[in-house]
Structure formats: structure tokens, C-alpha cells
Chain A
């Protein structure tokens, strides 16, 4: 295994009786990467995560976390991996710091180190002033942040976050995503799962789209967009100038121009043509008011993907049922 791969799964499978929850999935996560497991509820994301942590038995396939087998060496895995479960719970009658102290004792940190780590972790997630407040009084966003503080305190090399943003208001989501980006800066690899595609698309380096226990699509959001949405960039322009549409259509790589409003144009191109567009407008002495490229949206990718392959999807589910 390469030094830079922290999680590697090959043919990972989980069955409950006859039902297949996770069906032969393979993926790998690199060091310092933010990897998203995305998909609807019940698609097998949480089951995959529990298998990575050795918290549920693996029915088939192989998985290595930092080179350890979670089924045989769960303690080595759990010592190095931090986990934030879906709607994390704490002991409400204890303070935030006491909750972390309990975890720190379980991990086995000595007293002096424990206190320093707890103070640092709470500081990083902005909960320092609430350290001695009982968790019972915490909002959902604060609990999620406390969960992240626990991972920071642990000094984990990998953070596994299950639905970290679900049920949070936009402000709390933004705060949480900022902390998750902070993980990346410290060289911590992040594996996060979510069913809210557009919320997490901004932080993920690569994503795997889950569906019915399979990984339907995997790659960076931009790559997936090209692959699924028929490729190409969509560039919106707002500028004035006579004959602009005709001139822009001549730029190499532009496949179509449509008028979307007064002075508004939309270009379809197979590459990012913004520099050329800007140059054209300026050359025509036109006034450029807006120039933007549409980022491919995961929502669009996901919807499009399953729109185009509903039959295949059904067939896969059928096949899985028969195989089981």
C-alpha cells in the first residue's frame, strides 16, 4: 500500500441476512484529502463507516485503515481515527470538559497532557467559554462542534464524520465546514458522509455517490460534472455590444450560444473560455458587467445520473436481491 493512502477498501460487503446493505464497494482516501460519501439515507454510508471502524462485522472484502485491519486490530484503528456519529450524543449532566475528560481517560492520556489537549481542542472549535457548562444546555451545532473537539483532542490522523451538518442552520453549517477545512490544513484526512449534496460539495476534494449499497460515481465534483452532465462548461455573460453573440460563437471550443435575457448570454463550451470571452468583449469595446462559469452542482449530477439510468439502477437492486 502506498504511504499516501490512509483508507483503502476493496470489495467491501455487508449483508444482514438476505439483505445487502453494502455491495462490493472499493475506494481509497489519500492523506490530507476530504472524501465525501454522498447519497440518500439507507444507501449504506453509515454501515460503510462502521465497518471502517471495526464497530460492525465485515461480511466480505478487505479494508485497511492506516494499514490496520479494523476487524483484527480495532484498537490500533480506533486509537488513530476520530469518529463523529450521526447526531452525536454526550452525557448531558456533565460539562463539556468533563465529557472530553472521560474520552481522554478512555484513550489513556496522562493528566497534564489531557488538560492541555482538551483546552486546545475546545479553543479550536470556539467552545472555550462553554467548557464548564453542562452539555444539556448546548444547541445542536455546539454538540457537533464538541464532537469535532473530541476528534481534535484525540489527535486523530483520520476524522470520520457521519452526517456532520444534518439538522444545522446555515450559520452553524458554515462554522462546521470551516472547522472541517481546518482539519485538512493540519494534514488530517477527512471522510464525511452526507445526504445534503450541495452543502458538502464545497469542502470535498473527491466524492463517492452511493446508491443502494453501490458506489454509483466517484471522483472530483468537476470530473463528475463533465462525465455526467455531458461535459462542458457553462459560462454566463452580461455585456452589451452589437453582434457579440456571433463573435463569441467563433471562439474555439464554444459549442453554442443562447440568449438568456437582455444583454445576457449563456455559452456552452468544452473548456473554461472566460479569458477569451473577456478579451472579445474588451476588443469590441463593450462593457462587461458579469462573467461567470457555472460550477457543476452535485445535485444536478445526482439527479441527472439517476434520471438517465433508472432501469440500470432497478436492475442492480434486483440483481443484489437475487444474489443475496
Chain B
């Protein structure tokens, strides 16, 4: 059975409404302020560290993102921590909020499909996050210029913007998760708590669990242990498990992009090192190739989460 009309009718209207709601909300202002402050502090600290220690580096500018100065973690650490919080903060009440304000049935009685409402909400959130991240990136680059005093090269700029794109994808994963939870739970507080719980689990607990599980399933071989080496089977399983988490995927993709000397994200075998000049940087296209599977994995996760939310939303009763 074919439905009449386009599923996207009203999509732009919903998106713009969500965007304007987000950009004028106090919630967004607080989150953005937090991120900007952290960027300011970490970039300043990184610049000091770079001045003190690094003599010469062709990718000096990229180090702004990854260098830390005790006791403060690097900008990258904060980013992977705060992007999920921003995404959750924007979307945890987007569908159940419409129920609770009793606006949902009124909006859905207008000539649009539910598709447009849900997708519009997702796009509105994503555009909001994109704007916030672009502002942040430009700020970091500007601050870097001020603090370090060396302009970034062309390839560095390219890497920084590919990094931005990957960060937006990562934000999309958390946005889709948050939107799904806001569809599943009628109470916004429950949705927010579950989202934060999942975030803590994925971010803090899962890497440890992955290691424990891998060792339980494939016990380390004593022969390797005796030599002070890790068992390949265990390490591989641990990596597979860890990569189920979007945070791991994001971290790996970013390492490949921001550190041009990264040649592989998994265990390296001797055969792969033949003819390699260790420590020599790879061109951007090669780095992107290394980060590609991780990025596609994140896109797929976001799509999967959105589709589950979409199916749940389509089957939901509109009466409050």
C-alpha cells in the first residue's frame, strides 16, 4: 500500500522550529558555555606545553587538540566526554516533551507524516550541534594562532575539518540514542537518566568489561604471558568487543586523523612493518582510509538507532 504525498512534507518547517527552539534555550546556552570554557583552558594549557617541550613538528597545530598539561586532560578527552552530554541534553525530551505538553496530536493532525516530525527533530538537533562544534573549532584554531603563533599548514587545516566531520557523526550517534530514549519513555526525566546511565556505561565501564570478557572467553596463553606479551587471540577479541562502543570508534578514528604517524588501529604484525619508515607521517588520504571503517561504523550505529526510534514512534498511540 502506497501512502499519498511525500514523507518529508513539513520536514524543513519542523527542523527550523527545533533549531530555533534549541538555539534560544537556556539549556543549550549552558552546554555551549561549558564547552567553550573548557576549550579555552585546555587549548591554553596545550599551547604552553607545546612551547615548553616541542622543538620542531610538522603537525604542531594538531597537537593543540591532543596535548595535555598536568593536571588537565587534553581537549580531545573533554570533547569525547562532552559531545554525548550535549547531544543527550538536546534530545532527551524531544518526543516525550510533545506528549507531555499535549502538542503532539495537534501537530500530527496537520497535513504531515510522523516521519517529518521525527526526522525534523533529529536534523534540528544535528544542525544545532554542528553549529556549536563549528564555533568551537574556529575558536580553537583562533586561540591556537594567538597562543602558539604559528599558522597551520594546509594539510593540518584539512585534517582539522575532517576531524570536525567525524565529531559531528559521533554527536549524531548520541543524538539518535537520545531521541530513541525520548520516544521509548514517556517521562523526560527517565529518558535523561537512562541516557546518562548508558553514556557512563559505554564510556567508562565498557572498555574495562571488554578486557575482562575477552580474558574470560579466550584465556591468555601462559607462553605469551611468560614472555611479557599479550595473547593475540585475547587482544583481538578485546578490540572487537571494545569497538561495539561508539566512543571507542570515535577515539580510534580521531587518533588516525590527528596523529599522521598512525599506521594501524589494531595489533601490528611484523609483516606489516616491512619497508615502513617508522614515525614517518602518512598523507591525509591514507589516514582517512584508516579512520574510514570506524566512521562508517558510527554512521551505521546512528542510522540503526534512528530507525528503531522511528519504528517505535510510528507504532505509538498519539493520545496522551
Q: Which residues of A line the B interface, CB within 8 A?
A: 46-47, 50, 53, 55-56, 72-76, 78-79, 81-93, 102-103, 105-108, 147, 150
B binding-site residues for A, Cβ under 8 Å: 1, 3-5, 9-10, 13-14, 17, 21, 101-103, 105-113, 317-320
10 interchain residue pairs of minimum CB distance: A89-B102, A83-B109, A79-B111, A106-B110, A105-B13, A85-B105, A89-B103, A89-B101, A75-B5, A78-B111
With A75-B4, A85-B102, A91-B101 given, is the CB distance from A103 to B108 under 8 Å?
Answer: no
Bound-state Cα–Cα, A88 to B103, Å: 7
- The residues of B that contact A106 with a CB separation of less than 8 Å are 10, 13-14, 107, 110-112
* Complex Cα gap A205–B270 (Å): 88
22 contacts between A and B (CB under 8 A): A55-B318, A75-B5, A75-B9, A76-B4, A81-B109, A83-B105, A83-B106, A85-B106, A88-B102, A88-B106, A89-B103, A91-B101, A91-B103, A103-B106, A103-B107, A105-B13, A106-B107, A106-B111, A107-B110, A108-B9, A108-B111, A150-B106
List B contacts of A81 (CB < 8 A).
109
User: Dominant SS at the B interface?
Assistant: loop
Say yes or no: B111 contacts A75, CB within 8 Å.
yes
Closest to B101 in A: A89
**Given known A-B contacts A50-B318, A85-B102, A55 and B4 have beta carbons under 8 A apart:** no
Q: Which residues of A contact B3 (CB under 8 A)?
A: 72, 74
Complexed CA–CA distance, A79 and B112 (Å): 9
Identify A53's interface contact among B1, B103, B109, CB under 8 A: B109
Contact A89 B106 (CB under 8 A): yes
* Set of chain A residues within 8 Å of B110, measured between Cβ atoms: 78, 103, 106-107
CB distance from A190 to the nearest CB of B (A): 15
- Of chain A, the residue at the smallest CB distance from B319 is A46
A57 CB to closest chain B CB (Å) equals 9
Whole-angstrom distance between the Cβ of B20 and the nearest chain A Cβ: 10
Check B4–A72 contact: CB distance below 8 A: yes
Tell me whether B106 and A56 are in contact (CB under 8 A).
no
CA gap between A105 and B16 in the complex, in Å: 11
Contacts of B113 in A (CB 8 A): 74-75
> In the complex the two chains form, is B105's CB within 8 Å of A55's CB?
yes
Alpha-carbon separation in the docked complex, A78 to B106 (Å):
11
- Hey, which chain B residues are within 8 Å of A103, CB to CB? 106-107, 110
Which partner residue on chain B sits nearest A80 by CB separation?
B111
B319 is contacted by which of A50, A88, A107 (Cβ under 8 Å)?
A: A50
Beyond A85-B106, A90-B101, A92-B101, 7 additional contacts (C-beta under 8 Å) are A50-B105, A74-B4, A75-B113, A78-B111, A105-B10, A106-B107, A108-B10
Chain B residues with Cβ below 8 Å from A84 are 106
Q: Select from chain A the residue with minimum beta-carbon distance to B102.
A: A89
Contacts of B1 in A (CB 8 A): 72
